[in-house]
């Protein structure tokens, strides 16, 4: 009986929940209607000193109404490449 209880305890695991809480109220979020607007928003967040020297990958997260939820630095690499693992980096972005 005791060994059955020990085995069932091995299969109990914790749950992970991804919850996003914005510090910006919904009516004040910027809406993207053209690609040029996304470009302008991203360029405002870019470090201009690094722009020509390292590869950077940024995440621009939108809701269904194309309003900006979050912008984050996903990966920074070397002069010719950067590595971005989609699943891991997206979780990292929402936690930063």
pTM: 0.63
pLDDT by residue (tens digit) across 36-92?
999 999 999 888 887 778 888 888 888 899 999 888 877 777 777 777 766 665 655
Report pLDDT for 65.
92
Burial class (CB in 10 A: 0-12, 13-18, 19+), 70: middle
Report pLDDT for 6.
65
> Angle at the Cα of 68 (from 66 to 70), degrees rounded to 5?
140
Report pLDDT for 89.
58
Report pLDDT for 74.
78
């Amino acid at each position: 009986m005791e060994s059955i209880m020990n085995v069932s305890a091995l299969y109990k695991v914790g749950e992970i929940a991804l919850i996003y809480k914005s510090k910006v109220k919904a009516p004040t979020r910027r809406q993207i209607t053209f690609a040029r607007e996304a470009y302008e928003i991203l360029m405002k967040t870019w470090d201009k000193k690094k722009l020509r020297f390292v590869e950077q990958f940024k995440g621009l997260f939108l809701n269904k109404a194309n309003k900006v939820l979050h912008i984050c630095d996903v990966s920074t690499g070397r002069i010719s490449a950067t590595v971005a693992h989609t699943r891991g980096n997206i979780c990292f972005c929402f936690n930063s």
